Each structure stands twice: as structure tokens, then as C-alpha cells.
Amino acid sequence: MTVQYMSLLDVARHLDVSRDTVAKYPLPEPDVRVGSGINAARGWTQATIDAWHASRPGRGNWGARKPKGSASAADAGVIASS
């Protein structure tokens, strides 16, 4: 049976993000390299990408940010004078 490897573009499609976005991710070591040097093509199995993706942290605190302009004066550290 032939082993199928995912290219960077395949990984992007699998994760439903752009190729430019996935290129910025700290991806796991590739399961295979074809060629040598800077022009070597990298490949990952779907199992490798799925395991890596499942272990990535979630949105963290970024998801809890208030929309721009919704901070109150108290949140901004402004003291009201009377």
C-alpha cells in the first residue's frame, strides 16, 4: 500500500486555513522529505497533523477580549471627579 503524505497546501486545506497561515505555524517535524537542502519538499501523514492539531492550545485569553470601544472608564483606569 502506498503511504499518502500531505503537502503544506494539503495541511492548510485539511485545517481550513490559508497556506500562508499554516506556513506560520510551528508544524511538527515532517514524516518525509523529498529532495535536499532549501528546496526539499516536506510531507506529513494525516495522523501526524491530526495529533499535532489536537495538542495545540486553544484560543486562550484572546477569545475573552472585549470589543474595541466597549471598555468603561473604570476599565481604562480613569477616575471620575465630582
- What per-residue confidence (pLDDT) applies to 34? 94
- What per-residue confidence (pLDDT) applies to 16? 93
- What per-residue confidence (pLDDT) applies to 22? 92
Mean pLDDT by groups of 10 residues along the chain of 82 residues: 94 94 93 92 96 82 56 54 54
Q: How far does the chain reach from its first CA to its final CA, in angstroms?
A: 79
pTM above 0.85, yes or no: no
- What per-residue confidence (pLDDT) applies to 69? 64
Report the distance separating Cα 55 and Cα 13, nearest Å: 19
Report the distance separating Cα 82 and Cα 79, nearest Å: 10
